[in-house]
Amino acid sequence: MRSYKTAVEFGVVYIPIELYLCVKSNDIGFNLLYKKNHQRIKYKKTCEDCPNNIKNEDIVKGYEYQKGKYVTLSQKEIDDLKSKKEKTISIDKFVNLSEIDPIYFDKAYYIIPTSAEKAFLVLKKAMKQENKVAIAKTVLSNTEKLVAIREQNGNLVLYTLHFFDEVQKVSKEIKDISVTKQEVDLAKQIIQNMTEHFDAKEYKDEFRQKLITAINKKIKGEQVRPSKIIAPKNVINLMDALKQSVVASKKSPPKSATKPKNKKSL
């Protein structure tokens, strides 16, 4: 598992840490093949005046500042640009979690101390008791990141955040159409009927399992049949759709436990 080595600075407290991704990818990988013989399509690194079989050490990063003109930067030159602040995670401020719009959240990393464990535990406990989120900036993989650190389920978790100018506005305007109170009340009733506690364990990647099943069938030479798609019911208008949804969203009342019959005293 890839990790980032860095440190958290809290005032004058310095805590060396490693960052580990919280989420793994379960995507099923497909290779590109030539249609006629199923041989792998290979990616050859080449250019107009390049020799064959270019080695990785002969490749540099370049920025195109004009059409066809590049300036190159070595990894050492990039690393030399980083100040002490950019090489560590220096906490700038503490905020309430509710102040951060979820649209800004990107990747999540577990924070694991490599030393100064007591300082780490003190910071984690204090953040939990104060119910605050730390905000900082750092550089990960040559990219400056805005980050938020919070105590979560006994761990300190670092979230990379999008910068303000990275979040796009809605490209299309939604027409302001008048709605009735009855329509809104019916929608609220559906929401109330469908309200439950969230449990991530209830949700599985069902389409991934369908892909695995299809792959296994193809390996065995079996035919993969398309899924049956049920056509949506025709609903005349919104009110009818809302009323039908209210009925459909009502949960069956739990079966009452049968009470044991009172035994007659002898």
Per-residue model confidence as pLDDT tens digits over 44-82: 888 888 877 788 888 888 889 899 899 988 878 877 777
Per-residue model confidence as pLDDT tens digits over 11-35: 899 999 999 999 998 888 899 899 9
Rounded Cα–Cα distance for residues 7 and 123 (Å): 13
Q: Which of 55, 32, 35, 33 is nearest to 44 (CA)?
A: 55
**For 80, what's the count of Cα atoms within 13 Å in the CB-facing half-sphere?**
5
> pTM, whole model, 2 decimals?
0.77
Q: How does residue 211 score in pLDDT terms, banded at 50, 70 and 90?
A: confident
Q: Is the pLDDT of residue 1 over 80?
A: no
Instruction: Tell me what pLDDT residue 55 has.
Output: 82
Rounded Cα–Cα distance for residues 228 and 226 (Å): 6
DSSP H helices, the chain, are 75-81, 84-87, 117-130, 181-194, 206-219, 238-249
**Going by C-beta distance under 8 Å and a sequence separation of 6 or more, which residues neighbour residue 5?**
16, 17, 18, 114
Rounded Cα–Cα distance for residues 128 and 122 (Å): 10
Q: How does residue 85 score in pLDDT terms, banded at 50, 70 and 90?
A: low
Q: Is the pLDDT of residue 122 over 90?
A: yes
% of the chain exceeding 70 in pLDDT: 91
Beta bridge partners of 137: 90, 146
Query: What does the block give as tokens for 133?
Result: 């989120």
Rounded Cα–Cα distance for residues 51 and 151 (Å): 53
Mean pLDDT of 191-205: 90
Q: Which of 155, 151, 136, 120 is nearest to 87 (CA)?
A: 136
Q: Which residue has the higher pLDDT, 235 or 207?
A: 207
Enumerate domains of the chain plus CATH numbers.
Answer: 1-25+76-168 (2.40.290.10)
Q: Is the pLDDT of residue 235 over 70?
A: no
Instruction: Tell me what pLDDT residue 114 has.
Output: 95
Q: Which residue has the higher pLDDT, 79 or 240?
A: 240
Using the structure block, give the residue that is written with the tokens 């649209």.
103
Q: How far is CA 221 from the centre of its chain?
A: 37
Instruction: Tell me what pLDDT residue 265 has.
Output: 40
Q: How far is CA 259 from CA 107, 194, 232, in A?
A: 52, 30, 43
What b/e sequence results for 220-247 when a residue is b if at least 16 CB atoms lie within 10 Å of its CB, and e otherwise?
eeeeeeeeeeeeeeeeeeeeeebeebbe
Q: Which of 16, 19, 14 is nearest to 145 (CA)?
A: 19
Per-residue model confidence as pLDDT tens digits over 154-196: 999 999 999 999 999 888 888 888 999 999 999 999 999 999 9
Instruction: Tell me what pLDDT residue 190 has.
Output: 92
Query: What does the block give as tokens for 66?
Result: 């004009």
